[in-house]
Amino acid sequence: MIHNFNAGPSILPKEVFEQASKAILNFNNTGLSILEIGHRTSLFEAVLDEARSLVRELMQLNDDKEILFLHGGASTQFFQVPMNFLDEHETGAYLDCGIWGIKAIREAKLFGNVNVVASSKDRNYTYVPKDYVIPANAKYFHYTSNNTIEGTEMFYIPETNVPIVVDMSSDILSRQTDFNRFSLIYAGAQKNIGAAGVNLVIIDRNFKPVVNRKLPSMMDYMQHIANGSMLNTPPVFAVYVCMLTLRWLKSIGGIPAIEKINQQKADLVYSTLDAHPLFRPTVAKEDRSRMNVVFVMDDPEKEKQFLDLCKKENMVGVKGHRSVGGFRVSLYNALPLESAKAFCDLAKSFN
């Protein structure tokens, strides 16, 4: 058995792979492949409708929320958000908690002013800043709920009247939160929702994009909403894989059920690492991500030995991001508890 700790694209449920591969050969007993049906057919419309309604149900979204499936990865949202919501002389408030947030900040500066309300750069992004003021005149406040690379996660939603925009790419659907508090949520699918190639974007209808600049149609959220994610050909197969993964999540009990398992996996892994004399988790305890566990060793020779051992034991994707070094073990929704246990057994045996 391979234990897949990849950070993204990452593990999906086995039954999703089985169902998706069947649909490539014969989709819903139509004799056609999912790859060759028209996106405006009732066949695909049913897929998109089911995906949307599963998102609404699992996240308990209210009727003000519009659910979109868009192209371009989360990186497109870094600029599509300011392009739609931030005029040249307006200010967007941003929290700087690592590489993905920095990229969002850089893109926002192309369109308007950016106020970085707090940063954890002073300690290499190993914690989440707590005390900061979100200026009341900001057009929106943007943060990254889980910092995939640095291994920090923000478990609370800041108190503010400013509309909140969140990049939830790597922890969406992994734990309960009040999703209705957000004016805009975006997430690339390849970590917790499905296959790479599609973004889930959820926009509150009361959060109005009012800017003076002209927008290309494909960049205009309003046009996507008006056309029900069918402004052009959607990434049909990627949306289908999302729908299957959402079905799976519902079948196992939804977000409350997966949160319990995710908590168990994270507790196991962190407590194993904390108890071990050689491993050193890098993140402040209260801000440790349940999705991406980042840790190092003080001896590069030992790091290499452990990496080789992981390889030998079929544990893939444990090498840390090049910017942090060390190790990163990702524990996304689809990672079975057994894989977390197997990793812990291996870590315990290492000396």
Ligand X SMILES: *Cc1c(COP(=O)(O)O)cnc(C)c1O
Assess whether 191 carries a catalytic annotation: yes
d(CA 351, CA 337): 24
Does 167 bind ligand X (CB under 6 A)? Our answer is yes
- Taking CB under 6 A as the criterion, the residue among 148, 183, 229, 289 binding ligand X is 148
Contact 170, 146 (CB under 8 A): yes
Site for ligand X in 6-45 (CB under 6 A): 8
What's phi and psi for 174, nearest 5 deg? -100, -15
Q: Is 167 a catalytic residue?
A: yes
DSSP 324: T
Of 7 and 346, which has the nearer Cβ to ligand X? 7
Least distance in Å: CB of 196 to ligand X? 7
> Is 163 or 188 the residue whose CB approaches ligand X more closely?
188
- For residue 9, say if its preceding peptide bond is cis, omega within 30 degrees of 0: yes
Q: How far is the CB of 266 from ligand X (least distance, A)?
A: 17
Among 75, 113, 160, 264, binds ligand X (CB under 6 A): 75
Q: Which position among 13, 188, 254, 320 is part of the footprint of ligand X (CB under 6 A)? A: 188
Query: Which of 120, 148 has the CB closer to ligand X?
Result: 148
Asked if 170 interacts with ligand X (CB under 6 A), we say yes
**Could you say which of 65, 139, 191, 265 is catalytic?**
191
Q: Confirm whether 100 is a catalytic residue.
A: yes
Separation of alpha carbons 200 and 193, rounded Å: 9
Indicate whether 259 belongs to the interface with ligand X (CB under 6 A): no
Candidate ranges 43-51, 165-173, 252-260, 326-334; the one touching ligand X (CB under 6 A) = 165-173
Cite the beta strand spans of the chain per DSSP E: 3-4, 65-70, 91-96, 113-119, 141-144, 146-147, 152-153, 164-167, 184-188, 199-204, 279-281, 292-297, 315-316, 327-330
Q: Does 119 bind ligand X (CB under 6 A)?
A: no
Taking the C-alpha atoms of residue 51 and residue 245, their distance in angstroms, rounded to an integer, is: 9
Q: Are 205 and 66 in contact (CB under 8 A)?
A: yes
Q: Whole-number minimum distance, CB 100 to ligand X, in Å?
A: 4
Distance of closest approach, residue 74 Cβ to ligand X, in angstroms? 3
Q: Is 169 in the site for ligand X (CB under 6 A)?
A: yes
Q: Can residue 73 be called a binding residue for ligand X (CB under 6 A)? A: yes
Closest separation between CB of residue 136 and ligand X, Å? 27
Query: CB of residue 8 vs ligand X: minimum separation in angstroms?
Result: 5
> In terms of CB distance, is 153 or 204 closer to ligand X?
153
Please answer whether residues 116 and 96 qualify as being in contact, where contact means their C-beta atoms are separated by less than 8 angstroms. Answer: yes
Say which of 167, 171, 204, 287 is annotated catalytic.
167
At 264, which helix (H) or strand (E)?
Answer: helix 254-275
Any contact of residue 235 with ligand X (CB under 6 A)? no
272 makes contact with ligand X (CB under 6 A): no
Residue with smaller CB distance to ligand X, 171 or 303: 171
Of 37 and 200, which CB lies nearer to ligand X in the complex structure? 200
* Residue 165 near residue 51, CB atoms below 8 Å: no
Closest CA to 189 of 165, 175, 164, 170: 170
Does residue 197 bind ligand X (CB under 6 A)? Answer: no
Cβ-defined contacts of 59-65 (< 8 Å, 24+)? 59/173, 59/179, 59/202, 59/255, 60/179, 60/180, 61/179, 61/180, 61/202, 62/180, 64/180, 64/204, 64/205, 64/206, 65/179, 65/180, 65/202, 65/203, 65/204, 65/205
Which residues of this protein are in contact with ligand X, per CB under 6 A?
8, 73-75, 100, 144, 148, 167, 169-170, 188, 191
Please identify every residue annotated as catalytic: 100, 167, 191
